[in-house]
Amino acid sequence: MHATTLARLLTQARTRSLNDERLADLLHLLESNVAEEAAELFSNRQPPGSTARVLFRQTVADTVRLLPGYVARPSWAERWRLMAAAWKFVRGSGRLPNMHPAFPGATFEQLEQPLGVLDPAIYQPLARMIETTSVSWSYALANRRGWSIVESAWMLALTYPIGMWLLRWRAAGGTPRAEFMPEIIAALDRTQGYAPLARGRQRSRVKPGISGVCTSWRGGWP
């Protein structure tokens, strides 16, 4: 959430005319105040709007295809199946499409229920992946031609709610477990170079959708 707040402040600042030294000073100033700016978002969380939810679910649908064990068959029947699944993710109600053998049947409504506090072993792999990706700058270099650093940061921030949403789906009807995380982390890592999530369509999803999703997420809408 701090990262998305910093990105928002950067987009509001007039940085085009700044030299490297003045830009570094601005970043230092924003960084020192970002916790205060984000404080209200932690204490007064609001669910994202309907548009943000649709854009988020569409990104999730693309990410599911990167899970280990997902099999895509090159046939017209498979194309029609994916089109039907995509429409269900846009609607966001009723039963989820059957997209992965390890993921149980569930409803979209189930996946919007708060998870509560989980075992730290569940959060740690996801946090480490995001930290490593951030430090390495790979999120800004991964096949995203034309993206600004701010847009890439928004996309990185989006990996956390996507990961927790996939965890909720994987554990639907049961208890989330740490052993579910490796396959989810693998899918999230693959998004960094995945062409459908690096094109203009995803870039347009990120701009209006990321702020509403990431400022609302705490393992589920409040």
pLDDT over 90, % of the chain: 22
Asked if pLDDT for residue 114 goes beyond 70, the answer is: yes
The predicted-structure confidence for 67-99, as pLDDT tens digits, reads as follows 998 877 778 887 888 889 889 999 999 999 988
Q: Are 106 and 211 spatial neighbours (Cβ–Cβ below 8 Å)?
A: no
Asked if pLDDT for residue 219 goes beyond 50, the answer is: no
pLDDT confidence of residue 184: 95
pLDDT confidence of residue 204: 81
pLDDT confidence of residue 183: 94
The predicted-structure confidence for 142-157, as pLDDT tens digits, reads as follows 667 778 777 888 888 8
Q: Please tell me which residue, 173 or 33, carries the higher pLDDT value.
A: 173
Q: Name the residue among 131, 147, 110, 149 with its Cα closest to residue 188.
A: 131
Q: Please tell me which residue, 77 or 126, carries the higher pLDDT value.
A: 126
Q: Please tell me which residue, 166 or 211, carries the higher pLDDT value.
A: 166
H-state helical runs in the chain: 2-12, 20-43, 50-64, 76-91, 120-136, 149-170, 181-190, 200-214
Can you say whether the dihedral through the CA atoms of 71, 75, 79, 85 is positive or negative?
negative
Average pLDDT, the chain: 80
Tell me the sheet residues that pair with 107. Answer: 95
Q: Are 140 and 192 spatial neighbours (Cβ–Cβ below 8 Å)?
A: no
Asked if pLDDT for residue 137 goes beyond 70, the answer is: yes
pLDDT confidence of residue 38: 59
pLDDT confidence of residue 117: 82
CB within 8 A of 217, min separation 6: which ones? Answer: 160, 161, 164
* Residue matched to tokens 């700058």: 137
**Quick one: residue 173, left, alpha or beta (phi over 0 = left, psi -120 to 50 = alpha)?**
left
The predicted-structure confidence for 18-58, as pLDDT tens digits, reads as follows 666 766 776 676 667 666 665 666 566 667 778 888 889 99
Asked if pLDDT for residue 221 goes beyond 50, the answer is: no
Written as six digits, the tokens of 189 are 């890592």
